[in-house]
A and B are shown apart, each in its own frame.
Chain A
Amino acid sequence: MALKTEEMVLNMGPQHPSTHGVLRLELQIDGEIIIDVVPHIGYLHRCFEKHAEAMTYPQVIPYTDRMDYLASMYNEFGYALAMERLMKIEVPERVEYIRVIMGELQRIASHLVALGTYGADIGAFTPFLFCFRDRERILHLFEITCGARLLYNYIWIGGLSHDLHPDFIRLTKEFIKDFRPNVKELNELLSYNRIFIERTANVGLLPLETAINYGVTGPNLRASGMKWDLRKDDPYSVYHKFDYDIPIGKGEKGKTGDCWDRYYVRVLEMEESLKIIEQAIEQIPDGDVTSAIPKRVKPPEGQIYTRVENPRGELGYFIISDGSINPARVKVRAPSFVTMQVFPELCKGFMIADVVAILGSVDIVLGEIDR
């Protein structure tokens, strides 16, 4: 006689180490098979958008830092870019170069956290330590530049708070030289590890059509096989001056758009970021980084939607100005917020243990989902 089975509901989180923050997943399961997942978010909700309305435009920048706390530089970058477009400010070339260097260093740092913690989620703890060791070097570079390690308030509307430290270029070159072999090491340790591949290949498939319809962007979209990167497809700043490639998922170990592809796209992206930094350091012009900072930020009446390619995807700022010194509305289109929506689709039909693997592979930051 077959055993009688019935569906049950299992709560994962909000305090669960593999949910990367405070996220509650309500799993509907039949035995070990996932039937549906209902994510409950909002545990980290601070209502950034309400705060922003009470601040002047430059005062919003420290708040943007605290959304995606693993990619603060890029959040500031996006906000500053939106404001400059709204106010039609021409930024000195040196500022653009420094922003790109900082942005790409931030991308590497953010991906290192994503890859390291992903390994730790799956049960490989050593790569986590390796990744954080390298990330520490990047955080040190940020620290000598602006004094902060995580929340910088460095990129301002029209410029930067400080110029580069005299040692910055030398230390960055050293970092690049040391980091390249480390990526190779990471590949040997984790990417091509048999156990890791067994856990991630053919798990959590995201078909391209679904990804586009849900608005998924960034490495998750590229892993599904689409060459879409705002640095190339909606160019901003000085990215058009550099030579680099957009890696996409090819389904090397399983089908295209599985967890392993999402993981490996990030590994490849770090190498491309290194290429950009190398070229930017060679070409960087001299200049004053504070010359274009407006004394009084009072944009004309109007509205703008600007987006940048953050380490997690398309980070958009929708700003409405009513002509005063406070924004009338700041809406942030957070990439993780959109990615989290598609998460139930990825999990259906897989096992409970795979939920952890899938959640790690989409690389969310709860500070940004909840804002």
Chain B
Amino acid sequence: MQKIGVFVCWCGSNIAATVDVARVVAAAKGIPGVAFAADYKYMCSEQGQQLIADSVRQYGLNRIVVCSCSPRMHEKTFRACAERCGVNPYQVEIANIREQCAWILKDKEQATRKAIALMKAAVAKVQLDTPLQPGESTVVKRALVIGGGIAGIETALDIADAGYKVDIVEKEPSIGGKMAQLDKTFPTLDCSACILTPKMVDAAQHPNIRIFTYSEVEEVRGFVGQFEVDIRKKARSVKADICSGCGICTTKCPSRKADSEFDAGLRKRGAIYIPFAQAIPKVPVIDRAHCLKFQTGKCGVCSLVCPNKAIDYTQQDEIVTEQYGAIVLATGFDLLDLKHFGDLGWGRSKDIITSLQLERLTNAGGPTEGHLVCPSTGRQPKKVVIVSCVGSRDTSGRGKTYCSKICCMYNAKHAMYIREKYPDTDVTVFYIDVRTPGKGFDEFQRRAVEEYGVHYIRGLVGKVDVHKDGTLHLTASDLNSGRQLEMEPDLIVLAAAVTASPDARKIAGLVTASIDNDGFYVEAHPKLRPVESPTAGIFLSGMCQGPKDIPETVSQAGAAAVKAIGLLSKDKLLTNPCTARCNEAVCSGCQSCVKVCPYGAIEAVEKTVITLEGKKEQRSVAVVNEALCQGCGACTVACPSGAMDLKGFSNQEIMAEVDALCW
């Protein structure tokens, strides 16, 4: 016999101030099947849960309805509580009378009536709830990290140090990411390569880490604990096992048309190239689109000069398939394409560059060996203008609506580099606001002004004219004095907005992770679960989740590693029992469900079924793989015959809820 307990939470004044909880309790007591109803100030507290446990014991309750906050908040809490006192956790229903009632309504009478209606709907559903048992699945003790920048490297090292195997997949020919391109790092101005390179080497030499560079994730199957991933190792056209990394091929290559990605287009590279001196692995790659051998069939110089005969023009892409328990996304960021910023001179002069290009111009490993010059003349600039917020905080559609977060700090850093090395060069930073929260950050920016004599002008640059002789002329605003001013700088640096990596969207599709409108991965909870994707077993590390600086990226990378380790350390995982179920007698085998299932959990199988008339029949019906099914319910909607149903959310249960609301 059904004995339902209804527990109404006040949530302090969150619910009780708007909903008359006593009336909800009284209404519950009048429903057939309800054996007990009570209210309490904080139902989620230890005392609140004790009240539930005591009532179960005293009244022999076997189903529980909690009228409280959203099930996203405390469904787990109350299910666990039910399990402890012998009630099946799937016979617990939450009526959300906080977010969907108390918080959105002002009138107490209206809110109370809605709360009663929601309670009745939950009682109607709980009456039909069947006890469900979660299954078990095993965990593969290996993690996959997608992206080999500082975020991916740090996450991989932490997981590997904990004793688990990790694979890093990086699409570029070397790991290192954007941090490898930087000159110095704020707020301490230590050399970026000096702190990154040892970590790259650690990752390369770690016995638990395998690195797939020049590789991309092609396909992801499976689910938390048992992902199966196809990795495409793109053909390098160089045999990595016998190449010694001497680099002779790269110096002899006659093709010099391709822009060096690593030097942000400031230098040309050969068709066969090693991106930078500290690259890991130090194995060149042939860019086939620019290689004369591949394009015209005539050349082969690299093959002739290679002392180890490591060049292989016939190499093919290779697909590696591997099992993983957890996947960490660390796909990093990109800079906004400034094609819509022609008014700031972008694309019209070589002396108008991005901040990343400036990093390469001041970096000792860069195209000018660290000498800051105007790319058009090769001469040292005497007047440099840095423009903040190029494409950031932009709601006009040309840029991004968010603040890119790191630019204020790196602008100060760039201004300091320049003033430090070239005291006779004047540096002016145009800004809207200087945003420098962080340990030692504001002090850093003030040093740029107070010790290095950098001019900060509140206002932005409006228009840049490029004269026929190549000189630059700009108009800007000086908001503090309310005037327009003009300048003729030698070099203009545009602090372009940070954007999500364009690959993030593709990878989100492969692993079914959520992304926001800007292409950044969405975290499971903005405050309490910041490094987890809502999809189980997928974790987020670094800039792929939103703009952040290196210290923050490293902290998040560590946090993502801990979450992944927490998953890998489990021997078994409980699976969600709320999966789809097919009523084979009714299923017509139309396969509509197969087409809509985002997890590939349904297949059509030829088998003997018993029809509604009780006859045996051989035909094709849908069969659900419960291990893959995530319980999204898409199939139940697509099914034209009503054969598909979702355990825990059956059509019957949903209709009972609707009926209860319509009383």
Partners in one complex: no
User: Which B residues are within 8 Å of any A CB, using their own CB?
Assistant: none
